[in-house]
Amino acid sequence: MSSPRVVVYSTAMCPYCVRAKSLLQGKGVEYEEIRVDLDRDLMVEMMQRSNRRTVPQIFIDDLHVGGFDDMAQLDAYGKLDPLLGLAPHGEEPAFAHSPDASEDGPT
């Protein structure tokens, strides 16, 4: 299975763009950065694909993830790695709750 294509639409002076790219880099994910501040046509492309005007806008293959906050939320819920091909689909996230002995019921 090949890795998905990850695209980050960004600008030079965008702290959320930096955070999004840092999150992807921390996971070892390669991504294509498209600088919309350098080319108005690329900004128009981003707005058409995402229906949003703000950066970053992140796509995994054809799936519009959204901005950094959206991607960070997916990550927090354990849903980002499977989209990135880093974990098998359906694998339970490591932070999932499992009952301890005090929750087993009456003894």
Tokens representing 45 are 């492309």
pLDDT digits (tens, 9 = 90+) for 35-48: 999 999 999 999 99
The model's pTM is 0.80
Q: Is residue 83 a contact partner of residue 75, using CB atoms and an 8 Å limit?
A: no
pLDDT digits (tens, 9 = 90+) for 37-79: 999 999 999 999 999 999 999 999 999 999 999 999 999 999 9
Q: Which amino acid is at 20?
A: A
Q: Is residue 44 a contact partner of residue 95, using CB atoms and an 8 Å limit?
A: no
Quote the CA–CA distance of 90 and 92 in Å, as a whole number. 6
Q: Which CATH architecture has domain 6-83?
A: 3-Layer(aba) Sandwich (3.40)
